[in-house]
Amino acid sequence: MFILESYTVAVLFCFITMLCWGSWANTQKLAERSWRFELFYWDYVLGIFLMSLLFAFTLGSNGESGRGFLDDLAQADSSSLRSAFIGGVIFNLANILLIAAISIAGMSVAFPVGIGIALIWGVLDNYLKVPAGNPAIIFTGVILIAIGIVVNAVAYKKLTGSTQKVSSKGLIISVIAGVLMAQFYGFVVSGMTQNFDTPAVGKLTPYTAIVIFSAGILASNVIFNTVLMRMPIAGAPVSYGDYFKGNLKSHITGILGGIIWCVGMSFSILASDKAGPAISYGLGQGAVLVAAVWGVFIWKEFKAAPKGVNALLYIMFICFFVGLSLLVYSKAA
């Protein structure tokens, strides 16, 4: 199977993850004009699962390193499979709530708050499980990112206070999604081998782990999204019949969103071998910076903001940028 050979390449993969995780939600923004996010989400999940299989039968099945996908799946023990599957279930619940928050509060709010919380919690949790990098530098970077989250929340409060059009529900849902999102990566890593080149018996290679993780997303979606369709956070209930009424463009947009996210997840997991799970996860969740750029500068979500909000947004960007830079540097220090 294909694995990374250096920390430099691992960091590059982490930045690609950052771009993917910070950009996939644009597909939901494009679709929401005529397509409810509950319906969008079925195609998004399908896109994740299909992309995981494509990686498994190509990059995960060729090359001299590690174990091929089918051989790895056959030898996996139940605890490793269960761990990766549970990671998918937890991620799915968190992500459904995050997309709901995006539909209510916008990308520039939901991502920095929700994923920012997930980044802080997830980095600390993954570092405690697999220490890699200078802890003082890692934690300093995390503190700066936390400051960026607080600044973003203040900017959001000023925005909602001036327009009176946006409910605080979006902010609350973002927080809940972030707390849940922080948990999933650790479950996936726990089911994986620590050495990709010579995998441990019973443990999963990264490609198998991602397929099982994606299967957890797909299976749990039957429950989570069905409930959400009947009892939506915003708007009227929708049915399965509404899903099949969607046009080809709507379905392709959702699948594309899932593909983009899965590329990011796969690259993050591959990078964790050389960078360590804490740094790999933390850099990938730098998606908050990418998403905030999309939300502020492309989607103009703060165009009606009162005086002083733009300054807060720039402070947020600086905190995120410096914090993420410290995470990169922590491995070399």
Q: What are 32-82's pLDDT values in tens digits?
A: 778 888 999 999 999 999 999 999 999 999 988 899 999 999 999 999 999
Which residues have CB under 8 Å from 45's CB, separation 6+? 92, 217, 218, 221, 225, 258
Look at residues 24, 29, 42 and name the one whose alpha carbon lies nearest to residue 224.
42
Q: In the chain, what is the straight-line distance between the N-terminal and C-terminal CA atoms, in Å?
A: 31
CB neighbours of residue 300 within 10 Å:
11
The larger pLDDT score, comparing residue 247 to residue 161, is at 247
Q: How far is CA 274 from the centre of its chain?
A: 20
User: Which of 152-161, 176-185, 256-265, 280-289 is the most confident on average?
Assistant: 256-265
Quote the number of domains for the chain.
1
- Dist. CA 176–CA 236, nearest whole Å: 22
Is residue 292 in a domain? Answer: yes
Taking a C-beta distance cutoff of 8 angstroms, is the pair 110, 175 a contact? no
Query: How sure is the predictor about 209, in pLDDT bands with cuts at 50, 70 and 90?
Result: very high
- Residue 147 has a CB neighbour count (10 Å cut-off) of 17
Q: Which token pair is 208? A: 């198998």
Most confident of the following: 85-99, 208-222, 285-299: 208-222
The residue segments making up the domain with residue 279 are 7-330
The whole-model pTM stands at 0.85
pLDDT at residue 164 in the model: 45
* Average pLDDT in the chain: 88
DSSP, res 199: P
Confidence band for 160, pLDDT divided at 50, 70 and 90: low
Q: Which residue has the higher pLDDT, 102 or 308?
A: 308
Name the nearest CA neighbour of 66 among 222, 265, 207, 234: 207
Give alpha helix (H) positions in the chain: 7-23, 25-31, 37-57, 69-75, 78-105, 107-110, 116-129, 135-163, 169-190, 206-230, 240-244, 248-275, 277-284, 287-293, 309-330
Report if residue 76 sits inside a domain: yes
* Structural domain contains residue 1: no
For residue 140, pLDDT over 90 is answered with: yes
Please return the burial class of 319, using the count of CB atoms within 10 Å of its CB with bins 0-12, 13-18 and 19+: buried
Residue 276 lies in a domain: yes
Q: pLDDT tens, 306-318?
A: 888 889 989 988 9
Q: Is residue 2 part of a domain?
A: no
Is the pLDDT reported for residue 250 higher than 70? yes
How far apart, in whole angstroms, are the C-alpha atoms of residue 319 and residue 14? 19
pLDDT at site 333: 64
> Does residue 108 surpass a pLDDT of 70?
no
Rounded to 5 degrees, φ, ψ at 58 are -115, -85
Domain assignment present for residue 235? The answer is yes
pLDDT in tens, 253-303: 999 999 999 999 999 999 999 998 888 888 887 777 787 788 788 888 778
Residue 234 falls inside a structural domain: yes
> Could you tell me how far CA 108 lies from the centroid of its own chain?
15
